[in-house]
Amino acid sequence: MKSTNFRAIVERSVHIRTLYHQLERQHHETEWSVEEDALAFLTDAGLVGRLAMAQQGRWPTEEEPAPELEHKLGECIWWLIILAERMNIDSCDALEIFLSKTEEQLARR
């Protein structure tokens, strides 16, 4: 697995979103709102569920689901980074806080 700095991933994600904003302005004259980004994320998250079912043999499919599942998982991570950035939440900090809090809660059990 390639090791990449999470902050670099955030920067690349924001750059890609900027490019998509340009396309949105070309096609619709305005950029998507945060709410539209959230809906796009939820749509992709739903597809992850269906592809996971297919990958586990619980949903019929004609094609091997692994490549599309990998793509959609990556896209969902990207959307979460974008949503955090657009709502002024540092995704690196949010993840660290969540992990630390969860580890602490589980250690007390």
Among 54, 74, 73, smallest CA distance to 64 is for 54
Q: How does pLDDT run across 53-97, given as a tens digit for each residue?
A: 999 999 999 999 999 999 999 999 999 999 999 999 999 999 999
Backbone phi, then psi, for 47, in 5-degree steps?
A: -65, -35
Residue 1 has pLDDT above 60, yes or no: no
0.85 surpassed by pTM? yes
What pLDDT is recorded for position 4?
Answer: 79
Alpha-carbon gap, residue 15 to 61, rounded angstroms? 34
Question: In sequence order, which residues have a C-beta less than 8 Å from that of residue 17 and are 6 or more positions away?
Answer: 82, 85
Q: How does pLDDT run across 24-50, given as a tens digit for each residue?
A: 999 999 999 999 999 999 999 999 999
Q: Which two tokens stand for residue 31?
A: 């950029």
**SS3 (DSSP) at 85:** helix
